[in-house]
Amino acid sequence: MRFMGDFLKNINWKHVLIMCIGNVFAGMGIGIFKLAGLGTDPFSGMNMAVADMIGMAYGNFQLIVNIVLLIIEIVFGRRFLGIGTVVNAVCLAYITTFFYNIYTGVFGLELVTLPVRLVALCVGVVICCLGLSMYQMPDEGVAPYDSLSLIMTERWPKIPYFWHRMSNDVLCALICYLTGGVVGIGTLVTAFGLGPVIHFFNRVFTGKLLAWVDGCGMWLVRLFFVKGTPHGLAFQNGRYDPQPEA
């Protein structure tokens, strides 16, 4: 109980909130990829295809796969674990399904022509990259699938991370194709093209957002206390410390 209390006390809940919002945006974007029908990221595409083939809900199947990958992460990559690991593993596929059902069931969207589907793919890239930026930058844990490439890089350091990640993505894309899933331009875009867009959002939005939320507490302290420091306290090193008696 004491360990759990210390763990919860050390959590930056503002970062956790941003991470959770990021997963919502990521799920929204993946739902648009699925709606566009041009292929989605290899891992999601594999899980969608296999789930459809065996008649299981996408969210349930991806949860099972993530549990297996989570066990690997716990055994070999414990330092990559965090609240974000659990949120992504459990919630992302259900968030994706939720938004996809809204697109098709509530709004009745059905994209037919290729130009419209390409536009939808581009919109999905922007939304998904914003979400991934907000999910990754708070550093609240690595998703089980993402941790797999990091673990492989640590165990076989002579092979660059790029090739570990590529081998995993190619395997997922192959399984997706063999099980009747869509492997197309969307698969290539999500495998190779998300990095620069995520970096853009890291620089122009998420980094500034994190700096702002981290500075909010200090701003309030300065607003209420700096002009008149509470008796017995000294403002030092970004916090109030007991002031030694004269």
3-state secondary structure the chain: CHHHHHHHHCCCHHHHHHHHHHHHHHHHHHHHHHHHCCCCCHHHHHHHHHHHHHCCCHHHHHHHHHHHHHHHHHHHCHHHCCHHHHHHHHHHHHHHHHHHHHHHHHCCCCCCCHHHHHHHHHHHHHHHHHHHHHHHCCCCCCCHHHHHHHHHHHHCCCCCHHHHHHHHHHHHHHHHHHCCCCCCHHHHHHHHCHHHHHHHHHHHHHHHHHHHHHHHHHHHHHHHHHHHCCCCEEEECCEEEECCCC
| Residues in the chain with pLDDT values less than 70 | 1-9, 217-246
| The pLDDT value given to residue 244 | 46
Phi, psi angles (nearest 5°) of residue 180: 90, 15
pLDDT at 10: 73
Residue 6 has what pLDDT?
55
The predicted pLDDT at position 223 comes to 54
- Residue 76 to residues 126, 138, 171, Cα–Cα distance (Å): 33, 22, 21
Digit-coded pLDDT (tens) for 41-74: 999 999 999 999 999 999 999 999 999 999 999 9
In the numeric block, the tokens 């593993």 are attached to 89
Please tell me the pTM assigned to this model. 0.84
- CB under 8 Å, gap of 24 or more: what pairs does 9-14 form? 11/83, 12/138, 12/140, 14/213, 14/214, 14/216
CA 177 vs CA 13, 29, 184: distances in Å: 40, 21, 10
What is the pLDDT at residue 229?
43
* pLDDT value, residue 215: 83
